[in-house]
Structure 1
Amino acid sequence: MSVSFALSFVLAAALAIPGQPRAAPACPGGIVYRDADRDGRHGPDEPGVAGVRVSDGVDIVETDAEGRYRLQARADRPRFIVKPPGYRVPDATNGLPAFWRTPDETGAACGDFALWSADARPDDAPLEVRVMADPQPKSTVDVDYYARDIVEPLLASSGPGDAPADLGLSLGDIVNDDLSLYPAMIAQTVRLGVPWLHVAGNHDLDGGAADDSASLATFRRHFGPDTFAWETPQASFLLFDDVVHMPGASPSYVGGLREDQFRFIEAYLAGARRDRLLVLGVHIPFFDAAPGRETFRHEDRARLFRLLEPFDRVLLLSGHGHVQQHVWHGPSSGWHGPRPLHEYNVGAACGAFWSGVADAQGIPDATMSDGTPNGHARMDIDAGGDYRLAWLPARDATGERSGMSLHAPRVLRRGAWPGFAVYANVFMGDADSRVEYRIDGGEWTPMTRVVQADPRVLATNLADDAAETLRGYDRAPEAKPSQHLWRGSLPTDLAAGEHRIEVRARDRWRGELQAWSAYRLVEREVGVE
Structure 2
Amino acid sequence: MRGEINKDNMKGKWIILGFMLYGACVQAKIVDSQFCFAGKVIDKNGRGVAGVVVNNGISFTTTDAQGTWALHSDTTRSKFVSISTPAGYVLPQNDGLADGFYVPVRVLALAGGKHDFVLEKRTETDDRFHYIAVSDPQVRNERDFKRWCQETVPDMVEVIDSLKQSHEVVGMTLGDLVWDNMPLFDNYKASLKNTGATFFQCIGNHDFDRQYQGLHNMELASPVYGEMVYESHFGPTDYSFNIGKAHIVTMKNINYVGGKSYLTSLTGQQLDWLKKDLSYLPEGSLVILNMHAPSWNRISPDGNIRNAAQLKEVLKNYNVHVFSGHTHFFQNNEVSPVLYEHNIGAACGGWWTGWVNQCGAPNGYMVVDVDGNDLKWHYKGTRRDFSYQFRIYNKGEFKSQSSFVVANVWDWDSACKVVWFQDGKPMGEMEQFVDSDEERASELKNRASAEKTGHLFRAMPADGSKEIRVEFTNRFGEVYTKSIRL
Q: Is the TM value for this pair above 0.5?
A: yes
Deviates more, 1:135-144 or 1:271-280: 271-280
Alignment-derived partner of residue 428 in structure 1: 411
Q: Does 1:80 align with 2:91?
A: no
Distance change (3 Å), C-alpha of 1:290 and 1:445: closer
Of 184-193 and 509-518, more deviation after overlay is shown by: 509-518
Change (3 A) 1:305 1:409: closer
1:108 to partner: Cα distance: 6.6
- Mapped partners of 1:353, 1:456: distance in 2: 15
Richer in helix (by share): 2
C-alpha distance 483-419 of structure 1, shift in aligned 2 (>3 A):
closer
SS in 1 for 2:451: coil
Match for 2:366 among 368, 377, 384? 377
User: SS of 1:262's equivalent?
Assistant: helix
Q: 1:271 aligns with which of 273, 280, 284?
A: 280
Task: Using the TM superposition, give the Cα deviation of residue 433 of structure 1 relative to its aligned residue in structure 2, in angstroms.
Answer: 2.9
Alignment of 1:378-397 (within 5 A): 378-383=367-372, 385-396=373-384
1:304 deviates by: 2.3
Unpaired stretches in structure 2, ≥5 consecutive residues: 1-20, 27-31, 217-224
**Residue 504, structure 1, aligned to residue 475, structure 2:** no
Given candidates 31, 39, 42, the residue that maps to 2:40 is 31
One of 288, 301, 305 as aligned partner of 2:308: 301
Cα–Cα, structure 1 residues 211 and 158, in superposed 2: closer, same or farther, change >3 Å?
closer
Q: What pairs with 1:459-478 in structure 2 (closer than 5 Å)?
A: 459-461=442-444, 478=449
Q: Output the amino acid matched with 2:333.
A: V
> Residue 245 of structure 1 aligns to a residue in which SS?
strand
Are 2:425 and 1:442 aligned? yes
Superposed CA deviations along residues 356-413 of structure 1, whole A, max 9, x for unmatched, are 3xxxxxxxx2x11211001000111221x121121100123xx5332011111479xx
Check if 1:186 corresponds to 2:189.
yes
Instruction: Return the alpha-carbon distance in structure 2 between the equivalents of residues 387 and 480 of structure 1.
Output: 29
Distance 1:340 1:88 in 2: 28
Q: How many angstroms apart in 2 are the aligned matches of 1:18 and 1:347?
A: 40
Confirm or deny: 8 A CA contact 2:138 2:179 kept in the other structure. yes
Q: Deviations 1:201-249 (Å, cap 9, x if unpaired)?
A: 111111111454232111111111111111112211121001112348x
| Corresponding letter in the other structure for 1:79 | V
Answer yes or no: is the 8 Å Cα contact 2:95–2:194 preserved in 1.
no
- 1:206 is aligned, of 209, 225, 239, to 209
Aligned equivalents of 2:128, 2:301: Cα separation in 1: 40
Contact 2:415 2:474 in 1 (8 A): no
- Structure 2 residue 334 is the aligned partner of structure 1 residue 341: no
Q: CA contact under 8 A between 1:94 and 1:187: conserved in structure 2? A: no
CA separation in 1, counterparts of 2:95 and 2:37? 24
Q: State which of 271, 276, 290 in structure 2 corresponds to 1:281.
A: 290
Q: Which region of structure 1 is more displaced relative to structure 2, 177-186 or 150-159?
A: 150-159
Separation in structure 1 between the aligned mates of residue 247 and residue 278 of structure 2, nearest angstrom: 10
Task: Give the 5 Å matches for 1:74-223.
Answer: 74-75=74-75, 77-92=79-94, 95-105=97-107, 106-107=110-111, 111-120=115-124, 123=126, 125-159=127-161, 162=164, 166-213=169-216, 214-223=225-234
| Distance of 1:225 and 1:186 partners within structure 2 | 16
**Is the Cα contact below 8 Å between 1:369 and 1:478 reproduced in 2?**
no
The one of 407, 411, 424 equivalent to 2:393 is 407
Compare the two structures and name the one with the higher strand fraction.
2
The two structures have a TM-score, normalised by structure 1, of 0.77
1:289·1:295 contact (CA, 8 Å) conserved in 2?
no
CA gap of 1:373–1:510, structure 2 versus 1, over 3 A, is: farther
* Higher CA-based Rg: 1
Q: 1:207 to 1:456 in 2, by over 3 A?
A: closer
Shift of residue 324, structure 1, vs aligned partner: 0.2
RMSD: 3.0
Work out the percentage of aligned pairs sharing the same amino acid. 24
Residue 301 of structure 1 deviates from its aligned partner by 2.6
| Structure 2 CA distance for partners of 1:246 and 1:108, relative to 1, 3 Å | closer
Residue-pair matches, total: 445
Q: Are the equivalent residues in 2 in contact too, given 1:430–1:483 (CA < 8 A)?
A: no
Looking at structure 2, the residues matched to 252 and 161 of structure 1 have their Cα atoms a distance apart, in angstroms, of 39
Q: Distance in 2 between matches of 1:457 and 1:429?
A: 18
1:67 maps to 67
Residue type matched to 1:342 in 2?
Y
| Paired residue secondary structure (1:371) | coil
Q: 1:168 to 1:18 in 2, by over 3 A?
A: closer
Q: For the residues of structure 2 that align with 1:127 and 1:477, how far apart are their CA atoms?
A: 43
Superposition TM-score, scaled by structure 2 size:
0.83
| Structure 1 letter corresponding to 2:458 | R
Q: Compared with structure 1, are the counterparts of its residues 490 and 254 closer, same or farther at alpha carbon in structure 2 (3 Å cutoff)?
A: same
Change (3 A) 1:26 1:401: same
Which moved further from structure 2: 345-354 or 426-435? 426-435
CA distance in 2, matches of 1:477, 1:86: 53
Task: Tell me the alpha carbon deviations over residues 418-452 of structure 1, each in whole angstroms, 9 at most, x when there is no partner.
Answer: 96111111120135531111133222432111111
Q: What's the offset of the Cα at 1:256?
A: 1.6
1:324 aligns with 2:330: yes
Displacement of 1:456 in angstroms is: 3.0
Deviation at 1:133, TM superposition (A): 0.9
Q: 3-state DSSP class of the match of 1:104?
A: helix
